[in-house]
Amino acid sequence: MSQRKITRALISVFYKDNLEPIIHTLGKAGVEFVSTGGTQEFIEKLGYKVTAVETLTGYPSIFGGRVKTLHPAVFGGILFRRDHQGDLGEAKQFNIGPLDLVIVDLYPFEETVAKGGTDEEVIEKIDIGGISLIRAAAKNFNDVIIISSREQYQELQQLLEAKKCSSDLADRKRFAGLAFNVTSHYDTAIFNYFNKGLAIPVFKKSLQNGRVLRYGENPHQQGIYYGDLDGLFEQLNGKELSYNNLVDVDAAVNLVKEFDGETAFVIIKHTNACGAATASTVKEAYLKAFQADTISAFGGVLATNKEVDLAAAEELNKLFFEILIAPSYSKEALDLLKSKKNRMLLRQKQSLKEKRQVKSILNGIIEQDLDLKTDSKADLKVVTRKAPTSAEVDALLFASKICKHTKSNTIILAVNGQLLASGVGQTSRVDALKQAIEKAAVFGFDLKGAVMASDAFFPFPDCVEIAHQAGITAVIQPGGSVKDQDSIAFCDNHAMAMVFTGTRHFKH
């Protein structure tokens, strides 16, 4: 039969929050309790009789609690098949009673690691008995319900009330699936902790929070986001974020993070900056960023690293945009920006912490360190006779930050604190530069005295030649070409300054 009545339950949990209603429901139905330690005391205080695991097994808890439930009297009660005559005979022979419900959680391994626990403290939080009980009960879902996390307590309580402490096969199989998710996630966390020192070339990642999106990059593609989006953002207004929204939000928060300590504003379209600026106020930074491309900003994803006040909001409200990200909003600003019901407003609660990047390619996975290198004054090597001025150095570093977050091949044209134009994702660096110069002209920028940043070296002097004709006076690039000297010579002959950083910033 698919329906099973709960007659005896094994309960041994680390977290007891919201457990009390379940105990009362089971107790009132006459279910027998088997438990250990603190959970046994908890159940007894609620007024119910409990059989201690030690009584069941004939062994005390030993080795500092490392061995409590690992015994045939416990695992036999979980694993014997209720419709198998051989199993029934052996259960009777060895006096093993059934355990129809198992409620077990695991020691807080991840929490201990996150709190910076010592190696000894972390190792002691590797659960042995608990994870074995979960796997055993999940394997025998034909007969046993397994509750493997406090997150499942409410669902169990509803089931117990609706079916009078019985369950159907579909119920048990669902909880078994949840249980194997818990155990696999737990083992992955343990492996990754050990692998930090071992560097075994194995990819294991377990993300528990899945969010089904409206669709993927295009309407005919399915999309799911895995991760704790609510831990990163509070959504204050607007519709649910789409796949493309999330990709652009990631680009926006990564770029604006480069300007720590400054007031910055960026405008993203298809993961590239069409506007970026720093200024003394958010309003001023936005207006400067918007000037770089007043067309592409339409429907863009916007981000700032300072509070959005009413003055900024009044300017922003004139633009149709998809998303605005900020660490905070004044009440007046928020009220105004909420006037468009579909406009997505995000409050960023914490900075990004990931240090690795993963992509799926060629029926596999490719992983690398994130490009966390930000070029600084200390990295600059002046390679021309003319050194850049202090203002040009600031402009070069500003441009380099944007260049790092733009699709290759890319050229960034800027003055200090303002992106003027960019050439994005071109197959030729010359094409990227020509695109940027043309775009700057379209939006009315005079490039005389502006600077140029390139994500990779110049194999020929053609780019510095074209830049000079446009009025560019200083250049930042990684260097490293066998023909670097050709570009250096041209700059020297035309009073241009050029610095090498030694770091390439390809982005594909």
In terms of DSSP H, where are the helices of 199-242?
229-232
Cβ burial of 270 (10 Å; 0-12, 13-18, 19+) is middle
User: Left (φ > 0), alpha (ψ -120 to 50) or beta: where does 145 sit?
Assistant: beta
Q: Which of 16, 24, 125, 270 is an active site residue?
A: 270
Distance between CA 329 and CA 323 in Å, rounded?
Answer: 14
Q: Is 139 a catalytic residue?
A: yes
Integer Cα distance of 137 and 75 in angstroms: 9
CA–CA separation, 229 vs 68, rounded Å? 39
Decide if 28 is catalytic: no
Quote the crossing angle between the two packed helices 85-93 and 72-79, to the nearest 10°: 150
Give the β-pairing of 323-326 and 233-237: unpaired
Judge contact between 414 and 440, C-beta under 8 A.
no
DSSP 266: E
Listed in sequence order, the DSSP H helices in 233-302 are 243-256, 282-291
Concatenating the DSSP letter of every residue in 271-289 gives: TEEEEEEEESSHHHHHHHH
Among candidate residues 16, 71, 125, 139, the one labeled active-site is: 139
Which backbone phi and psi does 59 adopt, to 5 degrees? Answer: -125, 145
Q: Which amino acid is at 198?
A: L
| CA dihedral of 166, 169, 170, 175, whole degrees rounded to 10 | 70
- 208-230 per-residue burial string, b: 16 or more CB within 10 A, e: under 16: eeeeebeeeeeeeeebeeeeeee
For the annotated catalytic residues, the residue numbers are 139, 270
